[in-house]
Each structure stands twice: as structure tokens, then as C-alpha cells.
Structure 1
Amino acid sequence: MLIDGAGPALLPVPASDAARRRILVDALRPDDAPAAQDQAPEDLARPADLAPLGDDTALVVATSGSTGTPKGAMLSASALNASAVATEERLAGPGRWLLALPAHHIAGLQVVLRSLLAGAEPHVLDVSAGFDPLSLPGAVRSLEAAAGDRPLYTSLIPGQLRKVLNHSSASPAAALARFHTVLLGGAATEPELLDRAAAAGIHVVRTYGSSETAGGCVYDGVPLAGTEVEIDDDSRVWLGGPTVAAGYRNAPGHEAFSRPGWFRTEDAGSFADDGGLRILGRLDTAVSVGGLTIVPQVVEAALMAHPAISEAVVVGVPDARLGHRLAAAIVPAPSVSVPPPAELSSWVRERLGRHSEPATYDVMAELPVLANGKADRKEIERRVR
């Protein structure tokens, strides 16, 4: 079993995407078998060498990304077990889980692993065609019938929670309120969404982590048992502890694992007054505008604090004078008129200063997303140029 180290290492792949499966198998082979003989896409070079799998390696999990060769985090059975046990300890003990995320991504995998640890299969929602909030009431009835006195848990991304709260029927939100805890991760969550969830009686715990840390390892800013957090002089977040991967299968010696037992993230962070971790944004998406470095997620949070904005993604696009300028893709809140650009710029300027104002605003019915539910920033850059 995965959490006790028995059996060979596994590579989770999407069941419904043959092209993606071939890419992952060719790049991240979880054994020493040769790569597939059919020609790989030209932009996906097979790795010249692969890092050896440890005796304890249980999973090789593809990191997120829409183009190029994905990196494969090598997770040991002990790392997976440490994550699942620490989660049970932080929550209310073993429970029954609803799987509402793709099972080949780390957040979905962790629902499966936590269920294994609890000795119960998760209730699985079919999200291959998208997440339907109306599937929640029936799922909760099934879970409650089987759970006995055990608590109910699930993991969602902010977009799913937003769909629940924006639904014309109140039944999805009422169903979600029956869960002891809804773990929410994968992207930044605006305070307004958390306030709406609390008002609906939904207990949300924000999680922070990645494939390289066996999923979320910091809950509501507080590390799980065994996890350590450091912030270096460049404001970069480092995560250490028993849940950290052994490295990348197809990138031996990668600098992200230059410190044994630690993972160097691409996130900027700080410690709040109460000592909790606060993520400011992604260092690898930072934009230089006229020589000033802007973290897009900070601007996005300011925009989503506006009552008329449901979602926002800010990207940098080339500019002849400044090098780059900020462009915002926004999704309006339901049944609300989109404010004029001048009003939105004034809103941002009052909170962050003139240098953080987007130069343009593109209104979209919905944001393009990657398979893992995160915003597809490259596609947004293409649309807003």
C-alpha cells in the first residue's frame, strides 16, 4: 500500500487525456523501463538522465505547468504517511472524505491517501467535465450514511467554492456546511470569499503546499506537525520537514532541493504579527514595470476586494517604454455591472499606490484554467496583449 511503502513507485496520470499520459510517462517514468517509442512533441525533450528512485519512493507526482516538460516530485511512503497523519492530528481525527478534485494531482491524491489511512474509501465526484455544485447534496447524504459518527472532510480549490456560493440554489452551500472542514488550496483566496463561506456556515481551512511537500503542509498559516518554515533575505519561502520530496525524477540535483530536507519555493512570504505564514505572491510571476518589481497576486487581491469583482488575474505584457505593463483579466461578480477602468485603477491606487495600477482591464465570463484548476496565465497573457 502507498502509505506503508509496499509495492513499486507509481506515476498518477489522467485517465481521460491520452496525450498528457504519454508526456508524463515519457518524462517521469516511475521505473527503469525505456521511454515510449513514438515521437514526443518537439518541445518536450526526454530527460537525458533520471534521478534514481529510493527504496521508499511511493509516488512520482507531476508538478503543475501547461507547457514544457513537467517535473516529477519523488515522494516517499514516509512523506505521504507523515502528511496524512499530521492532517488527521490538525483536524478532528480520521473521517470520511469527498474526492472532488482530479486524483492525479497532489490535492486529490491526498484525499485518497487520507481515506486509506482512515480505512475508508472516499466518495468520488466525477469532475472530468467540470465541477457541478448540485452534485454535493447527494454526495453528503451518501457520506453521512456511511460515516457514522466520523467527521466529513473534503478538499476544494477557490473556484469550486466560488461556484457553490454563487449558485442560484442554496442547497450546494447547505451541503458543504455539513462538512467538518473544507480544505481550500491551490490558489490565493480573497477575503471576501472566505467571509461569504463563513456566513454560509462553511468551515474553511486554507492550505499551503505543493507536490514537492506532499500537498498542503501549512494550514491557516500554521505549519503541520513536523513542518518548518523559513523566509530568506529575498522574501522567498522555504519549507522543511518529513513531507518534503527527495527531489525531481527528471531533474537530478535541482536547486529547489539544494538543502537536504528542504524545498525552495517560488513564493514570496512574510510572517504576520501572530507568527502565521502569509504568502505575498509568486516570485516567478513578478513583473518589472519601469524598474519596479510588482507581485501580481498582491494586485489581484486588491482587485478581488472590490465588491464588483469575483476573480482577477494580473499579468505582465511587453511595453516599449516601461519594459512591461500590467494587464488585468477580471470576472465580474454575479448580477453586478463592471466598474469603469478609472474606478478600478483608483481602487488599486488607494491600496497599493500608483505603480500597481493595471494599464488595461479585460472582462471575461470565466478565466482560462489549467487541468489542476489554477489560472492559465500564459493563455491570459495571450488574450490580453
Structure 2
Amino acid sequence: MRLRAVDGADPVAVGAGLPAALDGAAPLALGFAPGPGDDVADGTAVVIATSGSTGVPKRVVLSAAALTASAEATARRIGSGQWMLALSAGYVAGLQVLVRAHLAGTAPVLLEGRFTPASFAAATRGMGAGPRYASLVPAQLATLLDAAEDRDVREALASYDALLLGGQALPPVLRERAAALGARVVRTYGSSETAGGCVYDGVALDGVRVASVDGELRIAGPTLADGYLGDPELTARTFVADAAGERWYRTGDAGDVADGRVAVTGRIDNVIVSGGTNVSLDRVERAVRAVAGLEGAVVAAIADERWGQGSAIVVALRTGLADSAPALLAAARERVAAEVGAEARPARIVPVEALPLLSSGKPDRRAIAALAAGR
């Protein structure tokens, strides 16, 4: 079947094309212009171009069955109702907002313009009666919490039956601040390859199975993508069959599964060697983000003449807080030493006006690494 290119930044266009895509009649290409050889199999609904925050570009093939299975499992877990779209429809989290609304028979409310506390509150006021839902990334939640002295923002946050938070790890302090304001936050874990979040607050959605194989999380179930368009080798490496013939997605994430709960500890490849010791930068970043004032910080690798490799904290500090950087670094080093080990302590802090972000709202880790290295 031929793909039809649609601008993922235009939620109206994506929404208009979604019914035919889910019916298998007109699959959509989001984020790229399909070429002459980019035909897809029957049943394909959407192909999403994604590079993540550090990886090479990939084009993920999602069937109507996978998108529908994910949306229906979400409705069984958190309920069904009206959705507000605060993310790009060209990314799986935003796309799934439109899919869930379509299956619920409701019209999604679109946030006008760029994401701000005022635009979030205005979009929320435009929602009808009944259950309300939205998907956000942690940086958006942090923006709303910082503006929560505004009554409209505070009331908007508390009005949702669930706010799905994904795309990156959610610092515990943000979740605690949200809960104190009555916001019902649900942490999600997943990717384009799993048709969006498939683990909610550590528990897999119905039908989804998660296992840890040699320390790597693998996922099976009806929400898996069919593979990568035009890249059979990457598809074969990433989607593997076990001895029983069941198909599993290799996430590349380190983690454990115990008593039915999934714990993600970081990317397998996000490790440096400092003084001969392997250090997970994901663990360092989690410890750093537990320090008040560093909730949105990103930890990046840097060269170190003495230890070979080290790490730096890159953080956007609000006006007037730049002078607090040395104290924040000291607090972060103490926290990291206690939780990860003395050898993992960040070497420096790099204050910036604003963290570079991808259009998905996730940190642009390549650009941040360049800032950490002083380039």
C-alpha cells in the first residue's frame, strides 16, 4: 500500500486522516516524505519517523491493530473520555491522544499555539463535562507547577482524571509537587515501537508482557510495531523471537521485573568509564534530579584528564539563581556519592538560559552534550 504524507505538526490534518488510516484504507507517513519504494503491508495505519534524543533516524511501522490495542488497554486502565492534545501529533504520544479520542467517540481539544501555562489553562476550559485526560512530558509538567500560583493553572491541573507523563524519567519531586496540588499523574513507559506507553506506574497494560533478559528489558504483546520501514536488518536485531516463537521488542533499556512491577534503571549504553569504574549516567541523573532546583537537569558525559571520563550537570536556572550553582553542585555531588558512589560525582555544573529540546519536548541530549563539553 502507498503511504500518504501528513504534517505531524498539524493535528487537524492528522486527525482528519486517522479514521481511514485505522480502517487500513490510507496509511499515513508522519515526519517524512515516502519514496517510490516505501510501500507498506496491508493493515499498516501509520509510519512514524523518529530519531529519539540520541539515535539515528528510524521509521517505525505501526499497524491499526497495534494502535487500537494500545488505546483500548489504556481505556481499561484509566478510563475513557475527552482528551486534550498538548504534544505534537507527529510523535506517538500525541498520535495516541487522537487515537484514544477517536475510539472514545469524543473530539480532542487542541492546545492553541505553543505550550504555556496560559494556553494549557485555556484549552482545559474548553473541555466539556465528563472524564478528562491529557499526555505531557515532564518539562511541561514542571512549567505548569512553576506557574501554579495562578489559580486558573492550578484548577486546570487538578481537573484531569489522569495526566499521562512519559518521554523521559519523571523526577520524584515533580510528582510530589503535582500530587500536593491535586494533579493525578500516571507515569508511563514505552516508545514508538510499542505504540506508545505500555507500562503505567510500573505495571504493564493488559496483554503486554515485560521481561528482563541479561539486564535488558524486552516487551511482547499486541501493541508491538511491525518493524522499521526499509531497514530489515535493524528490524531483525530489534524484534526477536524466543524459543516458543513469541516476538519480543528489545528496548535497549536496563531494568528489572519483580512481582509484576517494571523498574527501568536507564539506557544500557549510557555508561561512562571513570577511573576504571563503569558509571551509569542515568543513575547519576536520577540522583541529581532529586535535589531541589535540579529537577529538570540533564547529566552528560565529558572528557576528564585524570579519570578518562566524567560528567557534568546542565541545567536551566531561573533568573536570580545563577549564583546558587556552586551550592547546587555541592548538594548534587553529595547526593550522587550517597546513592551511586563517590566515583560517579559530577565534576561541574553548566547553567544555561534554556535546555535545548526536541520538538517532542524531550531534552536534545546531543546538543546538551556539546554544551557540557564547552562547544
Corresponding residue SS for 2:177: helix
Superposed, which structure 2 residues align to 1:1-385 within 5 Å? 1=19, 4-13=22-31, 24-25=32-33, 29=34, 33=36, 53-65=40-52, 70-92=57-79, 94-127=80-113, 130-144=114-128, 148=129, 150-167=130-147, 168-233=149-214, 235-254=215-234, 255-259=237-241, 261-271=247-257, 274-332=259-317, 337-340=324-327, 341-385=329-373
Counterparts of 1:230 and 1:2, CA distance in 2: 35
Deviation at 1:2, TM superposition (A): 5.1
CA-to-aligned-CA distance 1:86-144 (integer Å, 9 cap, x gap):
0110012x2000000001000000000001101122000135xx311112232222212
Q: 1:356 to 1:101 in 2, by over 3 A?
A: same
Please say if residues 24 and 44 of structure 2, whose CA atoms lie closer than 8 Å, have aligned partners that are also in contact. Answer: no
Helix, strand or coil at the partner of 2:160: coil
Letter in 2 for 1:323: G
User: Against the structure 1 CA distance between its residues 281 and 67, is the aligned structure 2 distance closer, same or farther, given a 3 Å change threshold?
Assistant: closer
Is contact 2:112-2:119 (8 Å) kept? no
Distance 2:287 2:110 in 1: 35
Paired position in structure 2 for 1:19: none
Q: How far does residue 7 in structure 1 lie from its aligned partner after superposition? A: 1.2
- Percent sequence identity is 41
The one-character-per-residue Cα deviations of 1:218-276 (angstroms, maximum 9, x if unpaired) are 0000000110001011x11101100001110031132011235321012111235x531
Task: Give the TM-score normalised by structure 1.
Answer: 0.84
Aligned equivalents of 2:200, 2:69: Cα separation in 1? 15
1:316 is displaced (CA, Å) by: 1.1
> Which residue pairs with 1:42 in the alignment?
none
Structure 1, unpaired ranges of 5+: 14-23, 35-49
* Stretches of structure 2 lacking an aligned partner (at least 5 in a row): 1-18
CA deviation map 1:283-310 (0-9, x unaligned): 2322222332222121111111112323
2:253–2:266 contact (8 Å) kept in structure 1: yes
Whole-Å separation in 1 of the counterparts to 2:163 and 2:353? 26
The TM-score, its normalising length taken from structure 2, stands at 0.86
Provide the rounded CA distance (Å) in 2 between the counterparts of 1:68 and 1:227: 25
Equivalent pairs counted in the alignment come to 345
Larger strand fraction of residues = 2
**For 1:215 and 1:7, how far apart are their aligned partners in 2?**
22
